[in-house]
Amino acid sequence: MNCEEARTLIDAYLDGELELEKTLLFERHSSGCSRCTEELRALRTLRSKVRESAYFAAPAGLERKIRDSLGPVPGEAVPRAGGETRGWPVWAATFSSALLAAAVVLVLFLAVGGKSPLRGTSPEGLVSKEVLDNHLRSMLADHLVDVPSTDQHTVKPWFDGKLDFAPAVPDLSAAGFALAGGRLDYVADHPVAALVYRKRQHIVNLLCWPFPEESKPKLETDHGYNLIHWARGGMTYWVVSDLNAHELDEFATLIQKDTGSSSR
């Protein structure tokens, strides 16, 4: 691959949209080409600047205006969660809008008793609900990680003595998923390992715990979040994020390959 061709592929490469063969050819070329390396660096800097600087948060009160404009909720005579007849508790205004979205969904979850018309109450459905709850709660306040570290060699041993299994902590930084750390958490009362990754501004929670049966990867969408889960080799893995399904599936595939739990 020469420079001219490489430069036409640089965007697709950074966006993770280039097929494997071209990706390898591109990387092989760019690692030996100072011009392309410099362009890559500049483009990466530009992209992260955009992500840091360009997001306009919705003004406070817009959400309330929108809910009010939808009219009264049919059949509702009692105040919403938090004891207010409409709108959100004052504490919600102190969160950034990204966290507010998570908090909004979580409060709705609790207010409607988790009975989403989208999901049944099968055992899997209940675990799915708990995993999403877990994800949302982890993003509020200070509960994202117990051990903050981008180094798998720090995070993995941290779980020793805290769990009776050793979670794999893959390094997926080459694919754009940076490790943010790990935490000990609970799903349906059993302890689980939670590994937190970040892609751009999205948080991806990977929860795993011992599980005897095997199952193929399954994708669900709920409340605007994507969940993928599967079980193999004595463990079950749940991946949850507001990241789009395509990239989340990419993440899940990488995890499966790394843990040797790929069935593809």
Sign of CA dihedral 71, 111, 194, 119: negative
Instruction: Give the CB-side neighbour count of residue 102, counting CA atoms within 13 A.
Output: 20
CA atoms of 157 and 169, how far apart (whole Å): 10
Q: Which of 229, 232, 240 is nearest to 262 (CA)?
A: 232
Does 246 bind other proteins (CB under 8 A)? Our answer is yes
Does 218 bind other proteins (CB under 8 A)? Our answer is no
Which range in 52-60, 141-149, 177-185, 230-238 contacts other proteins by CB under 8 A?
Answer: 52-60
Among 140, 148, 163, 202, which residue sits at the site for other proteins (rule: CB under 8 A)? Answer: 202
- Looking at the chain, how many residues does it have? 264
Which range in 37-45, 87-95, 161-169, 232-240 contacts other proteins by CB under 8 A?
Answer: 37-45
Contacts of other proteins in 92-151 (CB under 8 A) = 97-98, 100-101, 104-105, 108, 112, 116-118
How many of the other CB atoms lie within 10 Å of CB of 171? 15
Contact letters for other proteins, residues 158-177 (x by CB under 8 A): --------------------
Among 5, 24, 28, 35, which residue sits at the site for other proteins (rule: CB under 8 A)? Answer: 35
CA atoms of 123 and 179, how far apart (whole Å): 30
**For the CA atoms of 143, 130, 181, 246, what is the dihedral angle to 10 degrees?**
-130
250 near 261, Cβ under 8 Å? Answer: no
Among 27, 63, 133, 258, which residue sits at the site for other proteins (rule: CB under 8 A)? Answer: 63
Interacting residues with other proteins (CB under 8 A): 11-12, 15, 17, 35, 38-39, 41-47, 49-59, 62-63, 65-67, 69-70, 73-76, 97-98, 100-101, 104-105, 108, 112, 116-118, 199-202, 221, 223-224, 243-247
